[in-house]
Structure 1
Amino acid sequence: MKIDYHKYNFEDFARDESFRQWIIYRDSQAEAFWLEWMIENPGFESKINLARAFLYALEEKDTSLGNSELDAVADEIILEHKPKRIPFLKSSIFRWAASVLLIAGMGVTAFYFFKPLTDKSLSTLEKISPVLIENYIEKANNSDKTQEIKLEDGSNITLYPKSKIRYPKVFTLKKREVYLAGQAFFNIAKNPKRPFWVYTSHISTQVLGTSFMIKANENAKDVKVEVKTGKVSVYTLKDLEERHEKQQVELAGIILTPNQQASYSKNDDRLIKSIVDHPDKLDSAPAEELHFSETRISKVFDQLERTYGLTIIYDSNNMKDCFLTANFENESLFEKLNLICKVTHSSYEISDAQIIIHSNGCE
């Protein structure tokens, strides 16, 4: 018989076998079903998020419990709201998870509360992302090593020393949002229907699924976003606030692709697009070696573009008689460009994340 999930309350979702397959067992088929169902039934988001948070909390409290034991514990908590004839270890789990039910009765759907950040931009953040102000988890890295954080959607964050990250226990239906103070590398799980947003004190970054670095140290003059894979959009927090107040759909920003970066100047209150300091070869770069023997410069530039994913602008007519003989191995992109310019009596500059070659031609 087909189940009518529209009659479910929080407890029903937490008991449901398919729902537990998604949350406890990480079953991909169940995940696909429930994410689709949530999109079609947005009115159930609060009940589903509470059930998800309850099961996540129960699992997180004692990872030594097997999946079947977690099922049994969850059932008894839901049915009884207090333990009966259980060992002391599980009893503590009961008391802890039962507090989730108490919190649920207050209408709160997150279970870790930390002292609010004192950053002056939080008043803006409160308008555009209330979930990061009211109900959140915050983790700080006070060690001298990076710290790995795995989010409930499968995304991974590498948090650098003297940095902290804030995120909800359970992401909302429409988007995934976090707040960063400091430096972190993000490897985001793809989900086009739920874009991922990273807010800092001055800028915000929107992604669908990619990997990138954000450097937002409070003492630094600039805030930087560096893209390794995929594509991201970067906006100032001021622009987001204005869009929210005016209820605008369009939002001006900078789009970044691999090996590009956006720098926010705190003094000028503007974003500048450029190339990262150390461009890497793309994973999709052609396998052939960068070995050239009397090769037309147009072919050299074309191969460099495909290798690094960057645009090289030059006057093809001026440089039609330019050729290159060189074997590139471990040189950086900028070392390669310096050699090419030396051989062809040219120069280059970086503008808007593009490489512009200036040349009077080759004899």
Structure 2
Amino acid sequence: MFEKYRNFSAEDFATDDFFREWVFAKRSDANIFWTKWVKEHPEKREEVIQAIMLLKILQSEENELSPAEIGNAIERTLHKIGKNNPGRISRTPPAYQKWFRYAAAALILVLIGWAGSKNSWNRANDPAGLAIRPGEDWLTYENTGQGERQVTLEDGSRAVLDPESSIRVRRQWHGERLVVLLGGAFFDVVKNPDRPFKVLTENVVTQVLGTSFKVATDPVTRQTKVRVVTGKVEVSARNKPLPGPNTILYPNQEIVYSQDDEVMQKAVVEHPVEVRKSEQREFVYEGVPIGQIFDELEKRYAVKIRYDRETLADCQITASFSNESFWEILSLVCRPVRATAEEKDGEIFIRSSGCRF
């Protein structure tokens, strides 16, 4: 039965009952199946994302385009669809033909930036929910290209949008600085302790005073990842408060929040970058205590490295490093003393029996 999905197009997915039950979270078994299926069929990811966007658009209860604009846009778009894909729409089940013709037009309008030019975000694809209220004056910035797009906000903060991503901000900020994000973006925030900067996604709220960080939500897995480059941020779940305090992230740390499991996992980023950069590019150590290297790594990368100083007191090492990454240096330092480095909750733990042989 499920083999048919291998040949599905975006419109085929959008008209499939089981697929729609997953998108609108009506059945837990649909969520389990589709999350696994998309991971096993990465070649269909683009069609799946387009179908999700399509359904979100159709879920809208209102549209800011006038009826005349909608009609003209649909006619032009349907003509283009028919010209480039003869017979494509006719394969859609009859009950959905009219429905899909209008849906396909709406999808293409979004992809080419029409909706962005009209500030036509709606409640259906607004992850902030009540954060965007009718009558308020909002600006929408979309990236419909294949590369990144940089946007300078009212206060001088920068947002670098990933492809197929959007942000929405109030035309004038009063009090807190609120950004609603669909997709992924890197933020470089101007410091202002009196005006917190918040980024809202469907799953989490990220609040900072002044820092640089990346937020991204995967539309398929529904996982949100927050990664900090400089400063610190506070991350909390939007819909359900998690037990314990909110998660605080520091440079080179990230969290991954899974909406399905309602679990927030904290970790060291895959590629830590130097926070305290030095003009010195080669680091030479001759017979120095191994703890000294751990301490210097911690300062350079702002990643907490925990080890037993007494156990490693007799361990010395001679080595030099130049272009090695954080993880490579850590591995090379641990190897001679038969130590291991374990990452847990955004920190590094060194395990060793010491050097008293």
Q: For the superposition of Structure 1 and Structure 2, which TM-score range results when normalised by the shorter chain?
A: 0.5 to 0.7
**SS at the partner of 1:238?**
coil
Task: Name the structure 2 match of 1:136.
Answer: 138
Same amino acid, percent of matched pairs: 35
Q: Does the CA-based 8 Å contact 1:233-1:253 persist in structure 2? A: yes
Q: How far has the Cα of 1:135 moved from its partner?
A: 3.2
Task: Summarize deviations over 1:216-269 as a string: whole Å, max 9, x none.
Answer: 1212452111111111101111247x9xxxxxxx99311111111111122211
Cα distance, 1:121–1:160 mapped onto 2, change above 3 Å: closer
**SS at the partner of 1:291?**
strand
| Distance in 2 between residues matched to 1:155 and 1:270, nearest whole Å | 30
| Residue 271 (structure 1) aligned with residue 264 (structure 2) | yes
| Distance in 2 between residues matched to 1:194 and 1:278, nearest whole Å | 31
Task: Summarize deviations over 1:37-96 as a string: whole Å, max 9, x none.
Answer: xxxxxxxxxxxxxxxxxxxxxxxxxxxxxxxxxxxxxxxxxxxxxxxxxxxxxxxxxxxx
- In the TM superposition, 1:197-276 aligns within 5 A as 197-239=198-240, 252-276=245-269
| Residue 315 (structure 1) aligned with residue 308 (structure 2) | yes
Q: How far has the Cα of 1:166 moved from its partner?
A: 0.9
- In the TM superposition, 1:153-192 aligns within 5 A as 153-172=155-174, 174-192=175-193
| Distance in 2 between residues matched to 1:118 and 1:339, nearest whole Å | 51
- In the TM superposition, 1:51-62 aligns within 5 A as none
| Residue 340 (structure 1) aligned with residue 333 (structure 2) | yes
Q: Does the CA-based 8 Å contact 1:112-1:135 persist in structure 2? A: no
**SS at the partner of 1:264?**
strand
Q: How far has the Cα of 1:193 moved from its partner?
A: 0.3
Q: TM-score under structure 2 normalisation? A: 0.63
| Distance in 2 between residues matched to 1:360 and 1:251, nearest whole Å | 34
Name the amino acid aligned to 1:320.
A
Cα distance, 1:310–1:115 mapped onto 2, change above 3 Å: closer
Q: Does the CA-based 8 Å contact 1:137-1:167 persist in structure 2? A: yes
Task: Name the structure 1 match of 2:120.
Answer: 114
Q: Gapped runs of 5+ residues in structure 1? A: 1-110, 243-249
Task: Name the structure 2 match of 1:149.
Answer: 151
Name the amino acid aligned to 1:118.
A
Task: Summarize deviations over 1:258-314 as a string: whole Å, max 9, x none.
Answer: 111111122211211111110001146695843211110111111111111111111
| Distance in 1 between residues matched to 2:301 and 2:278, nearest whole Å | 7
Superposition RMSD on alpha carbons, in Å? 2.5
**SS at the partner of 1:349?**
strand
Task: Name the structure 2 match of 1:76.
Answer: none
Cα distance, 1:194–1:119 mapped onto 2, change above 3 Å: same
**SS at the partner of 2:183?**
strand
| Distance in 2 between residues matched to 1:300 and 1:133, nearest whole Å | 58
Q: Does the CA-based 8 Å contact 1:223-1:264 persist in structure 2? A: yes
Q: TM-score under structure 1 normalisation? A: 0.62
Q: How far has the Cα of 1:337 moved from its partner?
A: 1.1
Q: How far has the Cα of 1:155 moved from its partner?
A: 0.6
| Distance in 2 between residues matched to 1:302 and 1:130, nearest whole Å | 46
